[in-house]
A and B are shown apart, each in its own frame.
Chain A
Amino acid sequence: MTEHYQVAIVGSGPCGMSAGGRAAEQKVSHIVFERTDHLSDTIFKYQKGKHVMATPDVLPLRSSMPFDAGTRETILGKWDDQTGSLGVNVRYNAEVTAIAGEKGNFTVTLKNGETVTADNVVLGIGLQGNLRQLACPGGDWGGVQYQLDDPDEYEGENIVVIGAGDAAIENAVALAKQNNVYIVNRRDEFARAKDGNRNLIEAAIKNNDITPYYNADPKSVTSGKLTLTVADGEAEVDCDRIIARLGAIAPRKFVESCGIEFPSKDPASLPELSPQYESNVPGLYIVGALAGFPLIKQAMNQGYEVIEFILGNQIKPADEPLLEEKFQALPGDRPVDEVIAHIRENVPLLRALTTLQLREFLLDATIHVPSKGDVVFERNDYTNSFFMIVEGSADILIDEKDPNVIVNVGVGDFFGEIGLIAGRRRSATVLAAEASFMLESPRRSMIKLINSVEAVERTMNEVALVRQLRTYLSPQLTDDAIRPVLETAEVRGFKSGHVLFKEGDADEGVYLLRKGSVTVSRRIGGKDIVIAYVPAGHYVGEMAFLTRARRNATVRAAINTETIWMESDKFRQMIDASPELRGEVERRLLTRFIESESMHTRPEAGNIIQFLVEQGVGEATDILLIDETLCVACDNCEKACAETHGGVSRLNREAGPTFASIHVPTSCRHCEHPHCMADCPPDAIHRAVDGEVYIDESCIGCGNCERNCPYGVIQLSSGAPKKPGLFSWMMFGIGPGPGENKGWNKAHKKEDGAPKVAVKCDMCLNIAGGSACVRACPTGAAIRVSPEDFFSLSELSARR
């Protein structure tokens, strides 16, 4: 007979383990399946001695398991102890491969073929996924490993690293210091890796530190020998060890195979859950990171709660006090449930959310209760949050020149979506038209929402379209003028490098850029020469129909770009209906003629634009550029950065590429859509009013942002060692002088376990007068530019 349990818990991460603990305490018959031979693999894999943080601080812990900020080792140790003393029934080395059946009778199948039945299943497998295994014969040889904890452990070995991603490269380079390393790449270059890593591996190969096999696939493994299929046959490599870094398979497929539905194909979308964490399959519960709660404490709370829910106890979620506190800003003492119901009632955009999603959404949101005339945000602010009106109304001042052009929006309406979509400055000022109740939601919540609830994206796009046309073309456009365009207009997205249209194509419409930017290039003397750069908020493609000719240039997305495509005829109708716009379009056309003629004669300026676009200027809101013909390499910029930022410079002057004497140092670009924000568990990365992308103190040092930033500008740092005061330096020469931090930091390195957090350029957010680096450059070599200055960069090159 197969074993039967009341609850089967899959995964022993914080949530699964906590659920197991609660089940044991409540004497519920249970089993926890764990794929590996230890608890909580994700945390087990943190780097040795990592300081684990217990954010959010305000959230109380509700679990049968202890958890406090501390080192990885102490935390794991305590969990092991508690699991033992509560008698949690954990089965290790038990990977679950299938879950079938229904409430009361689920069958859980393990990799080794065993099955177990259960009334309920709790899925807490996190988001790390399964490491892809070496599939060839002999892949189970003991010398094959999928992870590298400490590269210094090995010495004098022959080691093969398989894979071409960042992890493979980092491992190979680190191992090459003491070992003879080979790297096996399926393709002929390391295109998938970050620039920094690509440079590292290419240099290592060039120096013969690492021997590469390109276009190679593992064919078989025998003890101590790897056979590869290569372009001209086979190659054999003697090896003591194989490290396969083949990436992970996201758990989504497995989850779907259990019958759980996702609202959209987007990999970021989350399954819909009831307030009791129950999925669309009754009896199948999802908790932890997989349910969209990326922090340990949240996961542990949910593990506890889910057992209570299964037992039928309607306890209040642990975040209730947080919401209570949040709603205190509201007049009257309204209970949480009532406020939530009220919000759902009044804001149609949020109606499609489940209660769980809505609670989570509100936890991240800020409540505003402005009085009449209060400014909500101002034109040209760089903030990218999103506002919804629950009560009251707001006036949007859409015309910069005429403060009397006002659009009034009321209960249930939203605003701020243009900045959110474009990642650029606010395009209007918004005032409260009366005493109101508004919700402000950070960028991350909105992106999660858009990806998870289809209705939200649709509603937002519909409203945004009209507003974007008014904002970017002319605030005077009447509804009548816009209507025909709307009939066929659509949002078209283009990935970085993709072509909107080619020189010589027939005219098929106008593209208004609502996000991203494009380069315009023309074939001159057999070469594609960039003649212009067009940022979001402008349109391209009007020239062809205005001049009744074919496309006279190729337009390519400089970064991921979204456009509003409009049919040419309808666009013409719209222009004809609005003399304002007509004049504007005509004026723009003539400017473009002039610009492109002058660029014709200066292809080198185009090359500079091309170079800068490659360096991320196209998505930058502010970038540090150094003119090498002025830079005397005094490093005063770096010193200034270190002195004003706790002794650690966030900029590396010397590193980074150079073209035509313009040097792009390794320093934050303050991207419109910061990649670093993508995956930050505590949502610690924000954008300030003037565009500064900064990290607040809630950072847990997970390093995701460091990996996600394509420009390699984030470092994990345990802070600079304290240096003796200025006085002791002047009088006794103790410690480094002002600015001399580099050597001191190196000589007084903190011990390895010191808590590390991510640090990056914050554009001197809190320093009056702005960027210390630029202000400390004695020769004027260092400047900061924003996209608005970008056009004049071609001017810059004209000087040369």
Chain B
Amino acid sequence: MHTSILVFRNFRYLKIALALIVVAVLAYVIHDPLGRPNGGTWLGYSLGGLCAAIIVWLAWFGVRKRRYGVGKLLLEDWASGHVYLGLSLLIIATLHSGFQFGINVHTLAYALMVLVIGSGAFGLYAYMRYPRLRSINRGEGALGDVWALVAGMSRDCYEIARDLPDEVYRLVEDADKETRIGGGVWRQLSGRDPNCASTRALEEVRGMAERYSGKDADAARRLVRVLARKVELLTRIRKDIQYKALLDIWLYFHIPLTVALLGALAIHIFTVFLYW
């Protein structure tokens, strides 16, 4: 049945990654180069080559993901392998460098790699955590056409507010016209709107309702309930948007950093051969 990329195929790709790491570490320990270990020894070249191959394969994932209906492996195979092999780079590439870092293009490549892996790790965390929260937040049904739902509630509010004093009507109007869903990146990621017109309307109408009496009080109470429902829905929608944003945002780092990494790596390889 459903299996997540971490446990996929009974941890096949974790096992492969671990095997690579074990081999690399053993080789590193056994290997006894002249002078300090670094990328220039035969082991250094081998590990560097391995890392470069893995990185190119990882980057190819972006292409593979968009080639539909081809290949023997599921995309989930690729994703599972991507995560484990990507993480293994932290060790293998470090061994390749022989722990020699400086202010140079080699270290730049290394740093970029770490950043890509870091953003990937966040992505993995997001993939593991947010879909479940999002599902719970949505409840049984899909949220469906949220605009229609919100608009319907606004209409209900107008209907009730028609017979209420102007001060209330104006709030309801604000709540309808000034309520924002979504918005900029930060707004989306925060999952809330501190200046939500509907929330404000709810608070104020509530205060006013306490002062009214008779028919007005009834209507105001009804209005409070509708507004409360609307605010609740808005909260859920904003949460939903927040989760989706968290699921997406990291890719805006992961991908450009990957491009930068490939560039730096090319220069790194080019220079070491140039100074050979």
Contacts and interface: CB of A to CB of B under 8 A. Distances in A.
Interface string B1-33: 111110010000000000000000000000000
8 contacts: A203-B148, A207-B151, A630-B2, A656-B142, A739-B68, A775-B71, A776-B65, A778-B78
A90 B69 CA distance: 56
Nearest to B136: A661
Contacts of B57: none
Contacts of B194: none
Contacts of B130: 632
Contacts of B149: 207
Contact of A796 (B2, B5, B68): B2
Given A629-B132, A631-B131, A796-B1, 5 more contacts: A628-B134, A737-B66, A769-B69, A772-B68, A783-B1
A644 B67 CA distance: 10
A767 B69 contact: yes
Interface string A630-661: 11111010011001100000000011111101
Q: Which of B3, B67, B68, B142 has the most CB of A within 10 A?
A: B68
A775 B148 contact: no
B67 A738 contact: yes
Interface in A620-634: 625, 627-634
B268 interface: no
A657 B141 contact: yes
B142 A633 contact: no
A206 B69 contact: no
A661 B149 CA distance: 22
B5 A661 contact: no
Q: Which 5 A-B residue pairs are closest in the complex by CB-CB distance?
A: A207-B152, A628-B135, A738-B66, A627-B2, A640-B68
Contact of A206 (B5, B79, B141, B152): B152
Contacts of B76: 777-780
A5 to B, nearest CB: 58
Interface residues of B, number: 41
Contacts of B78: 778
A657 B65 CA distance: 27
A796 B2 CA distance: 8
Contacts of B159: 208
B267 interface: no
A775 B142 contact: no
B140 interface: yes
Contacts of A147: none
A793 B151 CA distance: 39
Nearest to B82: A778
Contacts, number: 120
B122 interface: no
Interface string B69-103: 11110111011000000000000000000000000
Q: Which of A640, A772, A796 has the most CB of B within 10 A?
A: A640
Contact of A779 (B79, B140, B151, B156): B79
A179 B159 CA distance: 18
B69 A640 contact: yes
Interface string A732-743: 000001110000
Interface string A760-781: 0000100101001011111111
A242 B167 CA distance: 41
Contacts of B144: 203
Contacts of A614: none
B65 to A, nearest CB: 7
A172 to B, nearest CB: 16
Contacts of A634: 247
A776 B8 contact: no
B4 A779 contact: yes
B69 A628 contact: no
A625 B1 CA distance: 10
Nearest to A640: B68
Contacts of B75: 636, 775-778
Given A658-B138, A658-B140, A781 B131 contact: yes
Contacts of A737: 66
A793 B159 CA distance: 47
A661 B138 CA distance: 10
A371 interface: no
Contacts of A26: none
A241 to B, nearest CB: 24
B221 interface: no
A778 B135 contact: no
B73 to A, nearest CB: 8
A795 interface: yes
Given A636-B65, A654-B142, A738-B66, A661 B135 contact: yes
B255 to A, nearest CB: 13
A627 B134 CA distance: 12
A128 interface: no
B36 interface: no
B222 interface: no
Nearest to A611: B140
B1 to A, nearest CB: 5
B236 interface: no
